[in-house]
Amino acid sequence: MQHDPDLQAVHLEQRGIDARDAGRHAEAESYFARAVLKAPARPISWLGLALSQIDQQRVSAAIASLYRARDLSPQSGVVNHLLDSLSGTTSARAPESYVIWLFNTYAANFDNHLARLAYQGPDMLRRLALRADWCEDKSRAILDIGCGTGLSGLPFAPYASRLDGIDLAIGMLNQARRRAIYDDLHHGEAHAVLGAMPENSYDTVLAADTLIYIGDVAELFRLVATRLKPGGSFLFTVETGETGFKLTQSGRYSQSDAYLRDCATGLFAFSDHIEGTIRIEAGKFTPARAYRLTRL
């Protein structure tokens, strides 16, 4: 068994994953590098190698590793999305398999991880509600798109007559369920779930830190507008972009204010927005905007 190169690679991959989880990125890279030497036809080893190289900002090396992974697994949404993001290609949105992989991996530690990053998304949306003088009278039907573990639903529970969530990652939904603040939790892709919902269902729709995985938001805006009642509110955050929408090396998208206004034309009025920073990564603040749009 010890002489089976695949089993040896699996063992090295696990040590690489453990080292990466502990933040020992160079050590992780050395385990994955040994794994690809043992069993060069395992895309997962090449992916692990690429991730540990990304962690060390070694972009060219990561791209080379990702090409090897893609040769072995051409359909992998994870590999293709990482390659797009590192090579400056902007796709319309992150593949479902990427989102599922990323957030099912994160789910158990998500809240602690986001606390370490000083995550502000839910608070930015809550400030917009406070600025609009909303009463905590449990009167609104609220939908939380990309609800994750429920961090974004939490500050809105006092406003909600019902609170529903949508998320692609079952691991995140399982955490959200434990909070016992949601009425319905829908497992699926946001566009598909919204498309199957009746029109005029909600007073408020939230999307905290979700549009960072949906670059092209034109269709999402149209779906949200029709699922909102007239006069209803759409509260969301974006990472601040300069023009259009753009996939960045972080694997996330940014959107510009002008692009968002274009997408909202004929559907929403721009009622309020605030500028801020949504998290701190590697010592750097990530500039973000939170918007409150009103359905026309």
Ligand X SMILES: C[S@@+](CC[C@H](N)C(=O)[O-])C[C@H]1O[C@@H](n2cnc3c(N)ncnc32)[C@H](O)[C@@H]1O
User: Which chain residues interact with ligand X by CB under 6 A?
Assistant: 99, 103, 121-122, 146-148, 151-152, 166-169, 172, 189-190, 208-210, 213-214
Both tokens of 225, joined, read 């507008």
Supply the minimum distance, in Å, between the C-beta of residue 200 and ligand X. Answer: 21
Distance CA 232, CA 226 (A): 10
Supply the minimum distance, in Å, between the C-beta of residue 46 and ligand X. Answer: 24
Both tokens of 100, joined, read 């599922």
Distance CA 214, CA 34 (A): 36
Burial class (CB in 10 A: 0-12, 13-18, 19+), 162: middle
Of 32 and 213, nearer to ligand X (C-beta) is 213
Supply the minimum distance, in Å, between the C-beta of residue 145 and ligand X. Answer: 7
By residue count, the chain amounts to: 296
Q: Which residue type is seen at 251?
A: G
Of 16 and 121, nearer to ligand X (C-beta) is 121
Of 16 and 148, nearer to ligand X (C-beta) is 148
Quickly tell me which residue has 């779930």 as its tokens: 193
Of 29 and 167, nearer to ligand X (C-beta) is 167
Short-list 217, 223, 200, 214, CA closest to 168:
214
Supply the minimum distance, in Å, between the C-beta of residue 179 and ligand X. Answer: 11
Of 103 and 259, nearer to ligand X (C-beta) is 103
Of 65 and 286, nearer to ligand X (C-beta) is 286
Supply the minimum distance, in Å, between the C-beta of residue 140 and ligand X. Answer: 17
Distance CA 51, CA 46 (A): 9
Supply the minimum distance, in Å, between the C-beta of residue 132 and ligand X. Answer: 19
Distance CA 203, CA 200 (A): 8
Supply the minimum distance, in Å, between the C-beta of residue 80 and ligand X. Answer: 16
SS3 287: strand
Distance CA 162, CA 242 (A): 36
Contact (CB, 8 A) for 143 and 201: yes
Both tokens of 97, joined, read 């398999």
